[in-house]
């Protein structure tokens, strides 16, 4: 029986939302102690050394990242290099997504206890540390937020029989474009969204005069992507920032299906078992878990007509999210040992969300046969078991302490070089490559850290220069606003 939130019984279930929020915050709280790592550093460097418009347009490894870059830029303006603030924003965004996920399941199933179960199952997934604990992957959270808001409003229109307004369509369109410019899988999700909405929305609630909701996204999203790339390359005269060669990607096309299956299977088993992931739990068990979940969804869709279309919508979006990752990354990761796959946790944030929706829709009819009191007791027991698993099995979180120590060493060397010169003097500092980021032409060594952490080229009355021997850096320094005034040839 559906419990409306507006009824007295429904209002009494709002406290169940606190359960997934509390458990998600508890299990992922340690990410707030993380530090910047790898791709974070060239992002910070470009924010302070390049024109804001150029930074916003900067692609990376084939991703169009305007929305993600805008958030990164805003965070730097507000908090500079205070890493804790960045990761607090990631955790709070995740908690917002947990709340939205609860509401989506609550709307689709009419069962707040099942919504609490699903939101907790997804919100506490240990794989989320890869997206929350590395700020360069914050785009995954933005994709999920945009998608969740659209799905929540679409689910409400479906369950309440209210026609979607043109104002909502405009809002959804904007959110779809945010997702498309937040991370690579957001492009695929935005393209799949019209078909997912076609499945989710009955004809009577679709926007008036619309056959395929948001159908123009099928043309607008690719045009936007290639337009942004062209504007960066030709409009700004910049080479692509670590561009992906399509020929290299397609050369390993045979590996794409298996890599996608592995991603999906790992996402399923880590969603279901949380932190419990012993070494003996190899790929055969991943595939078995995925096969069981898929079989359950197919069985439920055949038996329960009203969940068939929402399940198909989830399947379309799931295929788009994991499929786009498999296409873009199979050539890189498929030749590597399969043990590498669990370390790529950032690829599962959106995929596991959609898997959770499918699982909850599948369980809907079974849960209805259980009394509310028994459901509450089962939910409580499951939460205790989940906390116990985290207490005994949770892996140590990589807070990127090595990167923090390296930054401190480099800044100490800069401070020592500055202090060694008298006030009013000129400081010349060698500019070695930095181990913080492997592509040194995009992160020019010690000078890049100086630009990030020092707002001016004169420190304590001493003018600072960096001695640069790399001719590529010397030629391209004029693109920057500060490196052009920092570098001096040997």
- How many whole angstroms separate alpha carbon 21 and alpha carbon 225? 35
b/e per residue 22-35 (b: at least 16 CB within 10 A): ebbbebbebbbebb
Q: Sketch the domain layout of the chain as residue ranges.
A: 8-33+64-393, 401-489
User: What's the rounded Cα separation, in Å, for the pair 167 and 420?
Assistant: 63
* 269 contacts 286 by C-beta, under 8 angstroms: yes
Mode of pairing for the β-strands spanning 458-459 and 426-430:
unpaired
Under 8 Å between Cβ of 325 and 354: no
**Angle 372-393/18-28 helices, nearest 10 degrees?**
0
List, in sequence order, every residue forming a beta bridge with 463; answer none if it has no partner.
426, 458
Task: Select from 161, 169, 229 the least CA-distant residue to 193.
Answer: 169
Could you report how far apart the first and last alpha carbons of the chain are, in Å? Answer: 77
Q: Write the CA distances from 172 to 147, 148, 152, 179, 190, integer angstroms.
A: 9, 11, 11, 10, 10
With H, G, I as helix, E, B as strand and everything else as coil, classify residue 424.
coil
DSSP 356-389: HHHHHHHHHHHHHTS-HHHHHHHHHHHHHHHHHH
Quote the distance between the C-alpha of residue 421 and its chain's center: 45
Q: Report pLDDT for 15.
A: 84
What predicted TM-score, i.e. pTM, was given to this entire model?
A: 0.94
pLDDT tens for each residue of the chain, 490 residues long: 455 545 445 555 778 999 999 999 999 999 999 999 999 999 999 999 999 999 999 998 888 999 999 999 999 999 999 999 999 999 999 999 999 999 999 999 999 999 999 999 999 999 999 999 999 999 999 999 999 999 999 999 999 999 999 999 999 999 999 999 999 999 999 999 999 999 999 988 888 878 899 999 999 999 999 999 999 988 888 877 767 677 767 777 888 999 999 999 999 999 999 999 988 889 999 999 999 999 999 999 888 778 999 999 999 999 999 999 999 888 888 888 888 898 899 999 999 999 999 999 999 988 888 888 999 899 999 999 989 988 888 888 899 999 999 999 999 999 999 999 999 999 999 999 999 998 888 899 999 999 999 999 999 999 999 998 888 888 777 767 888 889 888 7
Q: How far apart are CA 39 and CA 438, in angstroms?
A: 9
Residue with tokens 């303006």: 77
Among residues 312, 334, 209, which one has the least CA distance to residue 262?
Answer: 334
CA distance 64 to 438: 21
Strands 462-468, 458-459: pairing kind: antiparallel
């Amino acid at each position: 029986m559906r419990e409306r939130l507006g009824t007295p019984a429904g209002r009494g279930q709002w406290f169940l939302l606190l359960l997934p929020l509390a458990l998600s915050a508890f299990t992922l709280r340690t990410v707030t102690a993380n530090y910047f790592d790898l791709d974070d550093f060239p992002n910070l460097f470009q924010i302070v050394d390049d024109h804001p418009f150029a930074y916003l347009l900067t692609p990376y490894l084939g991703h169009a990242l305007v929305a993600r870059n805008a958030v990164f830029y805003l965070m730097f303006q507000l908090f500079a290099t205070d890493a804790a603030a960045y990761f607090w924003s990631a955790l709070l965004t995740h908690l917002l997504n947990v709340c939205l996920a609860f509401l989506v399941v609550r709307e689709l199933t009419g069962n707040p206890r099942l919504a609490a179960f699903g939101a907790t199952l997804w919100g506490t997934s240990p794989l989320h540390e890869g997206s929350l604990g590395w700020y360069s992957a914050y785009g995954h959270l933005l994709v999920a937020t945009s998608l969740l808001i659209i799905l929540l409003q679409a689910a409400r229109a479906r369950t309440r029989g209210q026609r979607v307004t043109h104002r909502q369509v405009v809002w959804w369109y904007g959110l779809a474009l945010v997702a498309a410019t937040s991370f690579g899988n957001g492009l695929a999700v935005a393209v799949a969204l019209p078909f997912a909405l076609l499945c989710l929305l009955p004809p009577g609630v679709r926007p008036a005069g619309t056959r395929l909701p948001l159908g123009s996204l099928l043309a607008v999203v690719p045009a936007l992507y290639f337009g942004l790339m062209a504007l960066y390359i030709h409009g700004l005269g910049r080479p692509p920032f670590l561009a992906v060669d399509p020929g290299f990607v397609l050369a390993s096309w045979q590996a794409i299906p298996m890599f996608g299956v592995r991603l999906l299977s790992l996402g399923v088993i880590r969603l279901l078992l949380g932190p419990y992931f012993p070494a003996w739990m190899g790929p055969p068990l991943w595939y078995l878990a995925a096969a069981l979940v898929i079989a359950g969804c197919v069985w439920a869709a055949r038996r329960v007509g009203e969940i068939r279309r929402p399940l198909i919508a989830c399947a379309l979006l799931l295929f788009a999210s994991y499929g786009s990752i498999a296409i873009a990354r199979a050539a890189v990761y498929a030749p590597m040992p399969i043990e590498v796959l669990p370390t790529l946790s950032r690829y599962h944030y959106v995929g596991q969300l959609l898997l959770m929706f499918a699982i909850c829709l599948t369980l809907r009819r079974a849960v209805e046969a259980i009394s509310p009191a028994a459901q509450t007791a089962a939910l409580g027991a499951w939460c205790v078991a989940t906390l116990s698993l985290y207490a005994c099995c949770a892996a140590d979180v990589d807070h990127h302490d090595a990167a923090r120590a390296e930054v401190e060493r480099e800044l100490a060397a800069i401070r020592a070089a500055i202090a060694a010169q008298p006030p009013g003097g000129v400081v010349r500092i060698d500019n070695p490559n930095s181990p913080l980021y492997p592509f040194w032409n995009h992160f020019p060594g010690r000078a890049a850290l100086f630009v990030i952490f020092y707002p001016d080229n004169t420190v304590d009355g001493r003018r600072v220069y960096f001695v640069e021997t790399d001719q590529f850096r010397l030629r391209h320094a004029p693109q920057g606003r500060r490196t052009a005034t920092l570098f001096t040839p040997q």
